[in-house]
Amino acid sequence: MEPAADGPLKGKVVVVDPGHNTHNNEHAAEINRQVDIGTGRKECDTTGTETNSGYAEATFSLDVAHRLRAVLQSRGARVVLTHDGDRPYGPCVTERADIGNKAHGDAAVSIHADGSDVGHRGFHVILPAAVHAGRADTSAIVGPSKELGARIAGNFVRVTGSAPSNYIGGGTGLDTRSDLGGLNLSTIPKVFIECGNMRDPQDAALLTDAAWREKAAQGIADGITDFLRG
């Protein structure tokens, strides 16, 4: 699908990063390889989590990414996916950041779902911490990424009706981390969103529902649109 010729996001580039990959579990050696994220070394990628019924986070994230791409393109944006389920594994977290940087994205979002304890519910948006180590330097993106995250969180509540996380972020729906290569190595405004907790039955019922995933994509898209339009 080509982006619309006109729309509120005409001329904007949005990078959408579907978390994990459904084939990661078949490539343990490759994804366990350590990569430099500036503040230390971590695995190239991970398998992600799944619901108790076996619905994989990687499947969820790619589905929401496709829905998000459609909404953003309808508003005139050019959308770059870090992968489209077409790779044997990964990409590594370092490459995910590099793809966004090389695309000169105006904003980037990495889509995930959490794997926490039963009773832990709700979404949270992860913001980049101030990091200056190795080839990581987030000084230019901390401010705009915080604004992007706040816009996404607000719209996610409005559109999905989901509450901010009751176990991370103190009720704000926002969390700041320095241990994620996808954020540390980004030179463009970027956040992660954990759309819910796959291991909680109530959240899992939402995450496995196609109509709810469409709302999730709409909420994320509205937040990105608010951010890019100022």
Per residue, the 3-state secondary structure of 128-174, as one string, reads ECCCEECCEECCCCHHHHHHHHHHHHHHHHHHHCCCECCCCCCCCCE
Residue 139, pLDDT score: 98
Mean pLDDT across the chain: 97
pLDDT tens across the length of the chain (230 residues): 454 558 999 999 999 999 999 999 999 999 999 999 999 999 999 999 999 999 999 999 999 999 999 999 999 999 999 999 999 999 999 999 999 999 999 999 999 999 999 999 999 999 999 999 999 999 999 999 999 999 999 999 999 999 999 999 999 999 999 999 999 999 999 999 999 999 999 999 999 999 999 999 999 999 999 999 98
CB-based burial, 186-213: b 16+ in 10 Å, e otherwise: bbbbbbbbbbbbbbbeebbebbeeeebb
CATH of 13-229 given 3.40.630.40, 3.40.50.10470, 2.40.30.10, 3.30.930.10: 3.40.630.40
Contact 36, 95 (CB under 8 A): no
> In the chain, what are the domain boundaries?
13-229
Residue in the block written with tokens 């010729």: 5
Q: Using one digit for the tens of pLDDT, what is the confidence trace for 67-105?
A: 999 999 999 999 999 999 999 999 999 999 999 999 999
Contact 143, 188 (CB under 8 A): no
Q: Which residues carry out catalysis?
A: 194
DSSP state of 205: H
